[in-house]
Structure 1
Amino acid sequence: MAEWTDKDERQYEHIKDSQLERGKPEDDAKEVAARTVNKQRREDGRTPNQTTQGTGNPNTPLEDRTVDELRNRAAELNIKGRSKMRKSELIEAIRNAS
C-alpha cells in the first residue's frame, strides 16, 4: 500500500509536538504519534492490515480485548493450540501462563 501522505506526516508532527509539550520523552512522543497515524490509516483502509497486530492495552481487562489481541498475547507467551481456542479458553490460558 501507499506510504504516508503529506497529511499523515503533518498529523504525526502535530501529535508528536503535542506530546512533547505535555512532557512526554521524545521516544514516547514519536511512538504515540506513529501509532495514532497508523491507526487512522488502518481505519481509512490505506494499509494491508485492517486490524492491529497488537495485544491490546495492558490496563484493559482480558475480557474486554478482542480475540485477535488475545491470540497475539498468547503467541507472545508461546501458548500452543491458540488458533483453535475460543475467547474464554484464550483468557484462561493467558492467565495460567502469566
Structure 2
Amino acid sequence: MACNCFDKVAEACDKQIRDVIGSDLAEMGESGFENAVWVMSAGDHAPVSLKYRFRYYRRRKNGEPETRQTKSDTAIMMRFCPFCGTAFSGSEVRDVPVRDGL
C-alpha cells in the first residue's frame, strides 16, 4: 500500500472511542471503516470506497413522475489518500463524461 493512513486513522478512532466509552464497553462487536473493498487488480488502491447516492423519479408516458423512487447508486474509488495525499498507483483511470446540469 502506498501509505498506512487508513490503518493509523482506524487505530486512533478505535482507541479514542474505547477511551470515551471506558468501562461501559462489555464486549466488542466490530470496529472499522464502512464500505471496505478488496480490489483484485494490480497496484495500490484505497481500502475504502465512497458511496454516492443517486435517487430519482422516472417519468411516466404521460409526463408525470412515478410515485416510487429509482436507485442508481454507485461506489467511487479514491485515487489519492484523503489523509496524506499520496497517490494510489492502481488501475488505469478513465475520464467520466459529465452532462450539463449534473
- Whether TM exceeds 0.5 here: the answer is no
TM-score, L = length of structure 2: 0.30
TM-score, L = length of structure 1: 0.31
Greater fraction of residues in helix: 1
Greater fraction of residues in strand: 2
